[in-house]
A and B are shown apart, each in its own frame.
Chain A
Amino acid sequence: MTDLVVKACGPGTSIQDQGRFGWQKYGLGPAGAMDRPAQAQANALVGNGPGAGCIELALAGARFVVEGGSCRIALAGADMPLKIDGTVTAPLTAATVQAGQTIDVGTARRGQFGYLAVAGGFALTAVLGSVALHMKAAIGGIDGRAFRPGDRLPLLMAQPSGPDLAAERALAPYIGPIRVLLGPQEDYFTSAGLATFLSATYTITPNADRMGIRLTGPKIEHGPKGYNIVSDGIATGAIQVPGNGEPIILLADRQTTGGYPKIANVISADLGRLSQMRPGDSFSFTQVSRADAIAALRSQQTALEEFRANLRPSGAASLDSARLLSLNLIDGWVKGE
């Protein structure tokens, strides 16, 4: 039996999978990884299906010691340095860690959320179909809470088999404004308000967490119907505009219903890169068609399938400049530069 023992971690370190569905009608939001494509990459590198629970690291790093047996790990998402017993590992490359060795993940140099996957996954009890921690609701994760030093995470696999894999290429980043579909309450805004929303630059405030991101920037003007609606359902990525005119984007640990009009919804394909932005980062919104949104999601899924199909044993993975350049492009995810 192999355990991962938490020696140090940031306050937002938790277990996340692809979310918990079917309970929103009772008020429990989906939770799940903030950057689902990144989480799927970490899982792919260790041979897991995309739905396996990973450790989500929020900006801060963490330190773990492996006990009992060996394990295979991989890190994806935010650019965080990974060391095993002090030796730096290559990015997007799985590594086998022996009993007694220390895994050190450093603070994110770029981005916000890193995903540490272990081959075979963690032996945690799913709550309502998922191991994901919903922080506000205190459901899932380890006893309904985030990690604390001293926590011991049992692994399902005692020792990994076969070679460690590495990615030949990182996913090509999408660069540009955050893409949205208007609605459901775009009729609560004046045409000037809509024009502001689709042209202005907004900055992420420090008030950003797994529940949502509060933005600051030019005020979005409401129409004569005001800014209160009879509470309505919320989808992940919904952009609500309360009375002060500054948008709030609702994310994984969001509430399930709300009483502010929602001007638009971030397309699914952009939720990951949005989540990787930090307080102080600025961006603008652009309206796209439903067909564009679906095409973006489909191409993201295809890219993930290719990522998985093109994994190579880490010894054989080329360390040529093209690969390193592609791995560096992870940075492009973050800023949309």
Chain B
Amino acid sequence: MSDASAQTPPRILSSGDSALVVELGDTIDPAINARIIALDAAFAAARIPGVVETVTTYRSLLVQFDPLVIDFESVAAHAVALTAAAGAATIRSRRWKVPVVYGGDFGIDLDDVAARHKITTREVVRRHSSVVYRVYAIGFMPGYTYLGGLDQSIATPRRMEPRLMTPAGTISIGGIQALVAGDAMPSGWHLLGRTPVKTFVATREPPVLFVPGDEVVFEPIDAALWAPLSARAQDGDPIAEVIAS
């Protein structure tokens, strides 16, 4: 990343009386995301009294605080100082292999996505599973893992009508983003497949597998493997494997 972007001061935005947003950009950019991850780590290390928690996104950090303990201006001053000091520290990144059953009942939009791009379903699967994704953020609901790096040739605008429910572990695409879903939720994204991997288990330590800065690759697997892998996941096996770190 360039020195110039490392020097860009953050925008501090008000998010009510108990939170502020430290914004380093408004695009999906690995350099900006790396600075957010570094800033988040810096906030955690600083242990500022009154700071309750932080939420990392693609390009911003929400800092929640107790306004009866610390005021907005002080949190903002910490944010500016920590942003300058943190830069884009090297992230300890792991690469995860995530098995996916594509198509059929596991990915009901695979045919539509193939038709829309005038390619075969096999080619959609190949393009979706032949790139290395970067985990930009976990958000929305527990374990929802937002990925960058989708092959632009299969980027597909979100559905006009969101589905009222999509299954847990859904592997989907929306615009230029890819997603590994946690629990069953409504979604307007296109469902390509499903993984037995549970991205968030409250009783697991730690509850999440993937964290921002990690990498993910998808491995197409046969539908016959769904039942045994799901059973193992139910018993606490992470299923996803770290293949490089």
Whether A257 is near chain B, meaning CB under 8 Å from some CB there, is: yes
Q: B4-20, CB under 8 A of A: which get 1 and which 0?
A: 00000000011111111
A29 to B140, CA, bound (A): 8
A237 to B146, CA, bound (A): 24
Whether B121 is near chain A, meaning CB under 8 Å from some CB there, is: no
Q: When the two chains form their complex, are residues B54 and A25 in contact, meaning their CB atoms are under 8 A apart?
A: yes
Q: When the two chains form their complex, are residues A184 and B15 in contact, meaning their CB atoms are under 8 A apart?
A: yes
How many residue-residue contacts, CB under 8 A, span A and B? Answer: 152
A238 to B202, CA, bound (A): 26
Whether B106 is near chain A, meaning CB under 8 Å from some CB there, is: no
Given contacts A27-B182, A232-B62, A297-B68, contact A257 B137 (CB under 8 A): yes
Given contacts A26-B138, A255-B141, contact A233 B55 (CB under 8 A): yes
A184 to B71, CA, bound (A): 17
Q: Which listed residue (B18, B139, B182, B203) contacts A235, Cβ 8 A?
A: B18
**Chain B residues, CB < 8 A from A25:** 40, 53-56, 138
**Chain A residues, CB < 8 A from B27:** 230
Interface of chain A residues 234 through 256 with chain B (CB within 8 A)? 234-238, 255-256
A263 to B203, CA, bound (A): 36
Given contacts A231-B146, A235-B18, contact A138 B183 (CB under 8 A): yes
Whether B52 is near chain A, meaning CB under 8 Å from some CB there, is: yes
Q: Which listed residue (B17, B26, B72) contacts A297, Cβ 8 A?
A: B17
The smallest beta-carbon distance between A214 and chain B, in angstroms, is: 14
A26 to B59, CA, bound (A): 16
Given contacts A26-B200, A28-B200, contact A136 B57 (CB under 8 A): no
Q: Which among B17, B20, B53, B183 has the greatest number of chain A C-beta atoms within 10 A? A: B17
Interface of chain A residues 267 through 298 with chain B (CB within 8 A)? 267-268, 290, 293-294, 297-298
A27 to B140, CA, bound (A): 5
| Number of residues of chain B lying within 8 A (CB) of chain A | 47
Given contacts A230-B27, A233-B57, contact A183 B13 (CB under 8 A): yes
The smallest beta-carbon distance between A185 and chain B, in angstroms, is: 8
The smallest beta-carbon distance between A154 and chain B, in angstroms, is: 20
Given contacts A27-B143, A182-B14, A184-B14, contact A256 B26 (CB under 8 A): no
Given contacts A25-B53, A26-B138, A234-B62, contact A268 B146 (CB under 8 A): no
Q: When the two chains form their complex, are residues B55 and A265 in contact, meaning their CB atoms are under 8 A apart?
A: no
The smallest beta-carbon distance between B21 and chain A, in angstroms, is: 5
Q: Which listed residue (B21, B53, B142) contacts A184, Cβ 8 A?
A: B21
Q: Which listed residue (B20, B40, B58) contacts A231, Cβ 8 A?
A: B58
A211 to B140, CA, bound (A): 12
The smallest beta-carbon distance between A1 and chain B, in angstroms, is: 25
Interface of chain B residues 19 through 62 with chain A (CB within 8 A)? 19-21, 23, 26-28, 40, 52-62
A234 to B26, CA, bound (A): 16
Given contacts A27-B140, A139-B202, contact A233 B16 (CB under 8 A): no
**Chain A residues, CB < 8 A from B60:** 232-233
Q: When the two chains form their complex, are residues A231 and B17 in contact, meaning their CB atoms are under 8 A apart?
A: no
Q: When the two chains form their complex, are residues A256 and B53 in contact, meaning their CB atoms are under 8 A apart?
A: no
The smallest beta-carbon distance between A105 and chain B, in angstroms, is: 29
Whether B104 is near chain A, meaning CB under 8 Å from some CB there, is: no
Q: When the two chains form their complex, are residues A235 and B16 in contact, meaning their CB atoms are under 8 A apart?
A: yes
**Chain A residues, CB < 8 A from B58:** 230-231
Q: When the two chains form their complex, are residues A257 and B140 in contact, meaning their CB atoms are under 8 A apart?
A: yes
A213 to B241, CA, bound (A): 40
Name which residue of chain B comes closest to A265, CB basis.
B16
Q: When the two chains form their complex, are residues A128 and B68 in contact, meaning their CB atoms are under 8 A apart?
A: no
A-B contact sample (12 more), CB < 8 A, given A25-B53, A257-B137: A21-B64, A22-B52, A25-B55, A127-B202, A128-B207, A144-B202, A233-B56, A235-B62, A235-B64, A255-B139, A257-B139, A268-B67
Q: Could you list 23 examples of A-B contacts with CB < 8 Å? A: A23-B207, A24-B62, A26-B143, A26-B208, A27-B140, A27-B142, A137-B142, A137-B183, A139-B202, A181-B14, A183-B13, A184-B15, A185-B13, A230-B26, A231-B139, A232-B60, A258-B140, A265-B14, A268-B17, A290-B72, A293-B17, A293-B67, A294-B17
Using a CB–CB cutoff of 8 Å, the interface residues on chain B facing chain A are 13-21, 23, 26-28, 40, 52-62, 64, 67-68, 71-72, 137-144, 146, 182-183, 185, 200, 202-203, 207-208
7 interchain residue pairs of minimum CB distance: A233-B62, A265-B16, A257-B139, A184-B13, A183-B14, A235-B19, A233-B55
